[in-house]
Amino acid sequence: LSRRQRQMCIRDRDYCADLARAAGVPSLRCDTHADNATMQHTLEKNGYIRCGTIYLADGAPRIGYERVL
């Protein structure tokens, strides 16, 4: 990503967190595949904590993350 694209991503991430806080949402949750190291690194870099494994309706496992606001 270019510097401008990274800045836009940061702005959007912060905007979403601000909207959630204003709505009284206590945390944001996300999940990703175990083999998606880039996403895992990005989530951890942005304050998300690995919470464990979740399973989709079809039984597929995902790593669950949460960011407390």
65 and 43 in contact (C-beta within 8 Å)? Answer: yes
pLDDT at residue number 1: 82
What is the per-residue pLDDT across 25-37, written as a single tens digit (0 to 9) for each?
999 999 999 999 9
How many other CB atoms sit within 10 Å of the CB of residue 43?
21
What single letter denotes the amino acid at residue 47? G
* pLDDT recorded at residue 51: 97
Taking alpha carbons only, the member of 29, 27, 30 closest to residue 68 is: 27
- pTM listed for this prediction: 0.84
Could you list the mean pLDDT of each consecutive 10-residue stretch along the chain, which spans 69 residues?
A: 91 94 97 96 94 97 97
Instruction: Tell how far CA 27 is from the center of its chain.
Output: 10
